[in-house]
Amino acid sequence: MTGEGERHDERALAAGLRSAAPWARREFFVAAHDAVYAYACRLTRDADLRRDWTHDCLLRLAAEVAEGRFVYRRPGSFWAWFRIRAPFLVLDSLRARRRLESREITAQTDAEDAPDPPSGDDPRLDLERLEILHAVNACLEGLTNPDQRRILAMLLFEEMPYEEIAAAVGRPLNTVRTDIRRGRVALRSCLVRRLELER
């Protein structure tokens, strides 16, 4: 049984979320709430939307861990994954809202002149940064070589030095350097295509 004031280490927390344990969900929501809310604050000044997006994001993150979409590898890997994944999910909420607003505007055009798109909250720099992060994550997941994908994730998201990566994957340092170099070329090529298509 878990005591109400007890806090678990990262590995135990990830394992608890994987098994959908209620204590793990509560502990994760408390620990992660402020960071997710901060992401939401960058994208809207509407307090209700901030709360909704934060709640939805936390539920989706917990569900993804329970579905096995996160695998614990080393200390720090869970929160590194969280820092990358959470902004994407909040950004998805913003995009969904904008799609809804766009449909509502389109529906009005038959009856009256279309109003200007809602300008409201448009923190463009933060949105652009999140979209780039989203593109990086999508390109990384699209790499066909699983070793390159894993090694680049350690380098980019966990900020591990080459030597630690080599030790973690059990491969020679020169091989890791080669994988990183080739993976970066593939990642760069994907980003160029993806960002051009999205413009």
Helices marked H in the chain: 10-18, 22-43, 47-66, 77-108, 124-142, 146-156, 162-169, 173-198
Residue ranges in the chain modelled with pLDDT below 70: 1-6, 101-130, 157-158, 196-199
Domains and CATH numbers, the chain: 8-118 (1.10.1740), 123-199 (1.10.10.10)
Q: Is the pTM of this model over 0.85?
A: no
Decide: residue 24, CB within 10 A, 0-12 exposed, 13-18 middle, 19+ buried.
Answer: buried
Residues 66 and 147: their CA atoms lie apart, in Å, by 24
Question: For residue range 91-114, what is the model confidence (pLDDT) as tens digits?
Answer: 888 877 777 766 666 555 544 554
Summarised one tens digit per residue, pLDDT across range 127-146 is: 666 677 777 777 887 888 88
